[in-house]
Amino acid sequence: MPKASLTARALLLDMDGTLVNSDAAVERIWRQWAEGHGLDPDEALKVVHGRQGYASMAELLPDRPMELNHAENAEMLARETADVEGVVPIPGAAAFLASVADLPHALVTSADAALAQARMTAAGLPMPEVRITAESVGASKPDPEGFLKGAAELGFTPADCVAFEDSAAGITAARAAGTLIIGVGPRALPHSPDLHVPDLTHLEITAAPDGLITFRRRAS
């Protein structure tokens, strides 16, 4: 069972599904892609959340050369960056980011820098100063590289950090990195995060003078 509270010293924040609800745009673009490759769109959508596009393609088309996945991923990123219709903040995201503005935190997203900026702007959210995007890593979630780099950029060990995630790939990456995990939304719950909230309105954050940050799930 997820805990009701936990403590950490730094935050590693996924974007899509955690701060920003981009499901409408993701589903539009990936349904078209799946249909174009003769795949079941509903099955494809079970794979794509949390991963970089080329990694999703490799899962869905395992016999295809990786260079084709990278080339097509570049096209997909351009389409996703241009299509922000329906991109909105996760409930409570603005207040949440305001509450952690002076705390050590980093964005750790599978989006590239342009897509991250486009979606955060569309959702009306401030971009964290420290950010690990697709360009920052050599391997996509569920590989832990992004979270390890985020912790290092903030000057903390992974064990001192809590990762906020919504997807199976992201939670697997955070667990492999050795961070605590707060799961946000329905996709996260089946993957046993340390603490789970339906959205960010259900989370209370308090910071002690010694830098220890406590996260509590608000009672429904």
Q: What is the pLDDT of residues 129-172, one digit of tens each?
A: 999 999 999 999 999 999 999 999 999 999 999 999 999 999 99
pLDDT classification of 220: cutoffs 50, 70, 90: low
Tell me, yes or no, whether 33 and 94 share the same domain.
Answer: no
Which position among 16, 112, 166, 194 bears the catalytic label? 16
Which position among 14, 143, 160, 194 bears the catalytic label? 14
Tell me, yes or no, whether 47 and 113 share the same domain.
Answer: no
Please give the model's pTM, rounded to 2 decimal places: 0.91
The pLDDT assigned to 7 comes to 97
**Which domain covers residue 138, as residue numbers?**
5-22+87-217
Tell me, yes or no, whether 40 and 74 share the same domain.
Answer: yes
Tell me, yes or no, whether 42 and 112 share the same domain.
Answer: no
Report the C-alpha gap between 141 and 144 in whole angstroms. Answer: 6
Residue ending a domain, among 36, 56, 82, is 82
The pLDDT assigned to 135 comes to 95
Q: What is the pLDDT of residues 14-66, one digit of tens each?
A: 999 999 999 999 899 999 999 999 999 999 998 888 888 899 999 999 999 99
Tell me, yes or no, whether 71 and 175 share the same domain.
Answer: no
In sequence order, what DSSP letters do the residues of the chain get, joined into one string? --BSEEEESEEEE--BTTTEE-HHHHHHHHHHHHHHTT--HHHHHHHHTTS-HHHHHHHHSTTS-HHHHHHHHHHHHHHHHH--TT-EEPTTHHHHHHHTTTS-EEEE-SS-HHHHHHHHHHTT-PPPSSEE-GGG-SS-TTSTHHHHHHHHHHT--GGGEEEEE-SHHHHHHHHHHT-EEEEESTTTGGG--SEEESSGGGEEEEE-TTS-EEEEEPP-
Residue ending a domain, among 48, 82, 116, is 82
Tell me, yes or no, whether 166 and 130 share the same domain.
Answer: yes
Tell me, yes or no, whether 199 and 121 share the same domain.
Answer: yes
Tell me, yes or no, whether 51 and 127 share the same domain.
Answer: no
Residue ending a domain, among 33, 67, 82, is 82
Active site residue 14: yes
Q: What percent of the chain has pLDDT over 90?
A: 90
Nearest 5°: phi and psi at 158?
-55, -35
Number of domains forming the structure of the chain:
2
